[in-house]
């Protein structure tokens, strides 16, 4: 499995498009299975579903006011926050069926993340906590109290992408960004449902969190460090406008 840690700093839409380009290249048989693990800018990642909500324009305005640049995310679900103290992850892998294996992939990724976060010393569990943003049964929480990581999935013909975000630090930044956005979209949300690794451990750096995820994957897969090739970068540039919100 390739491990890519490259990021497109300063252009969140291109950063999102890079993950999509990797997915499409894997689907076409032009790129091997890949885990992307990287830090991000301050981003509010909206889903296609969010875009259909009556309050979407107000939600994007609220995101910008809070200092987050809005983009259309790769996976479904609801809006999620990424910022400079969160860790983004995405696993693109070949699949022969569009629908078969969806829950198996969710379970596999959630268990890998739970293992990684537990190795840092957190009481990491799989499951939704009441009032969490972008709720899902495969979220990772701390002791059943607060959400630490969310997972989404995008499946296209030939490949699937399972990705999301781990809040390493800055839980308050997440909740303050999400609250007005979810209010505009008329989604339920409890600010107290957001946690971080730093809150649980006293301190935690991005490189520590990334190392734990890397070790969890390395225990099961052979990882090879790599950079996106020229074809993948070119495809990302072509796709970026589809994820950009003016």
Give pLDDT tens digits for 101-119: 999 999 999 999 999 999 9
Q: pLDDT tens across 121-159, in order?
A: 999 999 999 999 999 999 999 999 999 999 999 999 999
CATH fold for the domain made of 2-242: BirA Bifunctional Protein; domain 2 (3.30.930)
**Is this prediction's pTM over 0.95?**
yes
* pLDDT at position 33: 98
Look at residues 91, 52, 84, 54 and name the one whose alpha carbon lies nearest to residue 69. 84
CA distance readout (Å), 219 to 20, 120, 165, 213 = 26, 15, 21, 10
Nearest CA among 158, 168, 235 for reference residue 197? 168
Banded pLDDT at 180 (limits 50, 70, 90): very high
**What band does 57 get if pLDDT is binned at 50, 70 and 90?**
very high
* Separation in Å, CA 60 to CA 45, 82, 107, 156: 10, 14, 31, 27
Note the pLDDT of residue 226. Answer: 98
Report the alpha-carbon distance of residue 35 to residue 57 in Å, rounded.
33
The alpha carbon of residue 73 and the mean position of all alpha carbons in its chain are separated, in whole angstroms, by: 9
Q: Say whether pLDDT at 98 is over 80.
A: no
Q: How far is CA 116 from CA 10, 30, 129, 197, in A?
A: 28, 30, 19, 11
- 91: which strand partners? 35, 162
């Amino acid at each position: 499995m390739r491990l890519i840690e490259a990021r497109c700093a300063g252009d969140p839409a291109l950063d999102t498009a890079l993950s999509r380009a990797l997915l499409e290249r894997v689907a076409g048989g032009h790129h091997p299975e890949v885990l992307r693990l990287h830090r991000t800018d301050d981003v509010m990642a909206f889903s296609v579903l969010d875009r259909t909500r009556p309050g979407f324009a107000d939600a994007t305005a609220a995101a910008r006011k809070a200092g987050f640049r809005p983009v259309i995310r790769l996976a479904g679900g609801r809006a999620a926050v990424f910022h400079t103290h969160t860790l983004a992850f995405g696993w693109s892998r070949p699949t022969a069926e569009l629908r078969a294996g969806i829950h198996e992939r969710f379970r596999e990724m959630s268990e890998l993340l739970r293992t990684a976060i537990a190795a840092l010393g957190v009481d990491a569990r799989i499951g939704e906590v009441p009032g969490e943003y972008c709720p899902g049964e495969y979220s990772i929480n701390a002791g059943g109290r607060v959400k630490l990581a969310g997972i989404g999935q995008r499946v296209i013909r030939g490949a699937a992408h399972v990705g999301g975000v781990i809040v390493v630090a800055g839980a308050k930044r997440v909740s303050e960004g999400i609250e007005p956005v979810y209010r505009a979209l008329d989604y339920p949300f409890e600010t107290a449902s957001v946690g971080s690794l730093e809150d649980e451990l006293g301190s935690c750096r991005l490189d520590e969190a990334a190392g734990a995820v890397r070790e969890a994957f390395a225990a099961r897969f052979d990882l090879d460090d790599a950079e996106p090739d020229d074809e993948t970068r070119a495809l990302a540039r072509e796709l970026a406008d589809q994820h950009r919100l003016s």
